[in-house]
Chains A and B, each alone.
Chain A
């Protein structure tokens, strides 16, 4: 017993280090679990409050850009109204089954491996987990957790984000992922090599998704590399949206999509 106490006394620094570092690593490993989500949801209420203060300051600075953006979007919508045949081409109007909630980004990052976005709309505004987030220029992410007034979304710039995409010209499907570092481009790995794809092709969302409507523009093909091991293409896509300049977004939701999801879930349970 005496020896044990002496051992603890001599090595107290090391033992305390192991204890605290162990706890940190435990937190690290817990990051995807239910408890961690609860903890983050709880702290979001307070951190978002501080972030929304600073966001309101940067609002003034970016008023000009926001105006330009709104004018551009208004012009686009006005031309759509006049020219009804182009309804077919519009993302915002063609998918009538989708509800659009406007939201403002109050915290965002692009330099980490796993980036999250904090939005100023929450449960009280009808936002739920799993809703999609888009702008007129592309897909932004998916809502991950919701508190009363705020929501946290997994950005497209996240290890776990995977978005079903298609080539606009021939409807060939693939999955878009982010490999880190450059927030202006993402990658489609394992793209079959028999599909004709050239630099400059437009990439949009595909019709399989229950989160995003079909045909939301995402980016253009920037570079095509053949994978030496399996012969598939690695296609890097230059994104239309500048994630570092994000300000206003639309949270979208579709009742019909929820119905589709339920139906597909039933099949999975039967198997």
Chain B
């Protein structure tokens, strides 16, 4: 378990910089803003101590917030999905597939479970983030949530293919 602590704490700055220096700069369209850093929360092993999951999610969101110049947006959304992750994994991932310290990857849990699991988390994250940012809900906003979630999911799946190649 300690191995995972160190690995994920080391990945954190990498994903934060990737998000703020690359993904936030590339403008696909005004409606699409992918958040790849959610992948870290998705792939953390299920048996991670729960306090670590929450504290890690806060650190991740907070670092992204600092670079965006306004506090609280990303940390609120990320802590929320970290909290919901154990419940969502119960309904989407068959519980005898994973070992105690296995990370959740496309290879381990299979495409069907992985896609539904990550889509749930990404949708909740994006809805939470965009709704507190815009403080309203209308057709344009739901379009933005859907488009961003789908693009995030596609990028998450691409990273999984790279992992599978190894």
A residues within 8 Å of B by Cβ? Answer: 12-13, 16-17, 20-21, 23-31, 36, 39-40, 43-44, 47, 50-51, 54, 109-114, 116, 118, 152, 180-183, 244
Question: Smallest CB–CB gap between B151 and chain A, Å?
Answer: 12
Within 8 A of A (CB), among B42-65: 50-51, 54-55, 57-58, 61, 65
| Interface residues in chain B, defined as those with a beta carbon under 8 Å from any beta carbon in chain A | 17, 21, 24-25, 27, 30-33, 50-51, 54-55, 57-58, 61, 65-73, 75-76, 79-80, 83, 132-134, 140, 144
CB atoms of B27 and A110 under 8 A apart: yes
Q: Are B79 and A183 in contact (CB under 8 A)?
A: no
Contacts of B27 in A (CB 8 A): 110-111, 244
Residue in A27, A47, A50, A244 whose beta carbon sits within 8 Å of that of B71 in the complex: A27
CB contacts (< 8 Å) of A39 on chain B: these are 71
Shortest beta-carbon distance, B120 to chain A, in Å? Answer: 18
CA of A111 to CA of B27, assembled, Å: 8
Using CB atoms, name the residue of chain A closest to B76.
A24
A24, A28, A183 pick with most chain B CB within 10 angstroms? A24
The residue that A110 contacts in the complex, of B30, B72, B79, with Cβ under 8 A, is: B30
> Smallest CB–CB gap between B66 and chain A, Å?
5
> When the two chains form their complex, are residues B76 and A40 in contact, meaning their CB atoms are under 8 A apart?
no
Chain A residues whose CB sits within 8 angstroms of the CB of B133 once the complex forms? 112-114
Q: Which residue of B lies closest to A118 (CB)?
A: B69
Number of CB contacts from chain A to chain B under 8 A: 90
Q: Are B30 and A183 in contact (CB under 8 A)?
A: yes
5 residue pairs bridging A and B, Cβ less than 8 Å apart = A17-B83, A20-B79, A25-B76, A28-B132, A50-B21
Residues of B within 8 A of A30 (CB): 71-72
Report yes or no: B83 in contact with A181, Cβ–Cβ below 8 A. Answer: no
Tell whether, in the assembled complex, residue B75 and residue A24 are in contact, meaning their CB atoms are under 8 Å apart: yes
Q: Given A13-B50, A112-B133, A180-B134: A20 and B58 within 8 A (CB)?
A: yes
Known contacts A16-B51, A47-B69; 17 further A-B pairs (Cβ under 8 A): A12-B50, A16-B54, A24-B58, A24-B61, A24-B76, A25-B76, A28-B71, A28-B73, A30-B71, A31-B70, A31-B72, A47-B67, A51-B21, A54-B21, A111-B32, A116-B69, A181-B144
- Our pick among A13, A27, A36 for the contact of B75 (Cβ within 8 Å) is A27
Instruction: Give Cα A152–Cα B70 distance, bound, in whole angstroms.
Output: 11
Q: Are B140 and A31 in contact, with the CB atoms below 8 A?
A: no
Determine if B69 and A113 form an interchain contact, defined as CB atoms under 8 angstroms apart: no
User: Contacts A16-B50, A47-B66, A180-B134 known; A111 to B30 CB distance under 8 Å?
Assistant: yes
User: Judging by beta carbons under 8 Å apart, are B72 and A24 in contact?
Assistant: yes
- By a CB distance below 8 angstroms, the chain B residues around A16 are 50-51, 54
* Chain B residue at minimal CB-CB distance from A17: B83
Q: How far is the CA of A12 from the CA of B21 in the complex (A)?
A: 36
**What is the CA–CA distance of A65 and B61 in the complex, to the nearest angstrom?**
35
Q: Which residues of A contact B69 (CB under 8 A)?
A: 40, 44, 47, 116, 118, 152
CA distance A152 to B25 in the complex (A): 17
Q: Which of B25, B50, B66 contacts A43 (CB 8 A)?
A: B66
| A24 vs B79: C-alpha distance when bound (angstroms) | 8
Kindly report which residue of chain B lies nearest to residue A47, judged by CB atoms: B67
- Of chain A, the residue at the smallest CB distance from B84 is A17
Q: For residue A29, which residue of chain B has the nearest CB?
A: B72
A31: chain B residues at CB < 8 Å are 70-72
Q: In the complex the two chains form, is A116's CB within 8 Å of B70's CB?
A: yes
- Docked Cα-Cα span, A183 to B30, in Å, equals 7
Pick from B33, B61, B71: contact of A111, CB under 8 Å: B33
